[in-house]
Structure 1
Amino acid sequence: MSKVKKRIKPTKEQTQELNRRLDAVMKVGHTNNLYCDCELCQALAEQAELMGYRTYSTIKRPSEKWDRRKQEYERGRQIDLVKVANLAGQGLTSTEIGEKMHRSKGYISRIAKEFDIKIFTKKRGRKPCH
């Protein structure tokens, strides 16, 4: 059996140092940047590794695969936007547009709301006699 390395509770000074570095990173504004390689973020990563909160200190760069996937998603969304605009111009409802495009009604409504596309609704009620 392999031994599991037990994490040791950090001292008060180590916790204060980690909080000080967290405050510095927050002040700089790198809160949402996971792959930052500035001195402050690297120091925070090393401190977290020292305290046992992190298994590695070097921050790895994301692979090109995620950028490519994001670009493909955005491209597909642009194509859907054009199709929704064209079909809405023909007077179709969001349900009919969704059936033609093989997308959900909620997706169509979300795109229409985001880009201010007017989708018509069918009139409800009695049909005229003549």
Structure 2
Amino acid sequence: MSKVKKRVRPTREQAQEFNRRLDAVVDAGHSSNLYCDCELCQALAEQAELMGYREYSIIKRPSDKWDRRKQTYERIHQIDVVKMANLAGQGLTSAEMSEKMHRSKSYINKLAREFDIKIFTKKRGRKPCH
């Protein structure tokens, strides 16, 4: 088995230094930026590596793969919304739409809420005798 490196508990001075650098990053407003390469964020990353909180201190840039995935995801949503609007205009329920579009009923309902599409419901109760 491979040997796991045990993390040593930081000293009080190291913890105070880490908290000071963390406060500096938050004061600079970089708390929501995962891929920041400014001096404050780099110093915090190096301190975290020194204390054993991180494996590497070099902050990598994200690949374009996630942007492409998000674009295709949004494109599929747009196509589904157009299909759903056409089927809703024909008076189908969400269950019938989900069968025709081969999507789940919860997905159909989520898109209907997001894009304000009115989905009809079937009338329940007794049928008229005439």
Q: Fold match, TM over 0.5?
A: yes
Q: Residue 28 and residue 90 in structure 1: after superposition, are their counterparts in 2 closer, same or farther (change >3 A)?
A: farther
1:78 aligns with 2:78: yes
CA displacement at 1:95 relative to structure 2: 0.5
Alignment of 1:1-130 (within 5 A): 4-130=4-130
CA RMSD of aligned residues (A): 1.6
TM-score (norm 2): 0.90
User: What CA distance in whole angstroms lies between the structure 2 residues aligned with 1:30 and 1:128?
Assistant: 66
CA displacement at 1:91 relative to structure 2: 0.9
Q: Deviations over 1:9-68 (max 9, x none)?
A: 111111111112222222333333221212221111111011111111001112221211
Q: Which runs of 5+ in 1 are unaligned?
A: none
Instruction: Give the % identical residues.
Output: 80
Which amino acid is 2:13 matched to? E
CA displacement at 1:87 relative to structure 2: 1.1
Which amino acid is 1:89 matched to? G
Q: Residue 93 and residue 17 in structure 1: after superposition, are their counterparts in 2 closer, same or farther (change >3 A)?
A: same
- Greater mean deviation of Cα atoms: 119-128 or 38-47: 38-47
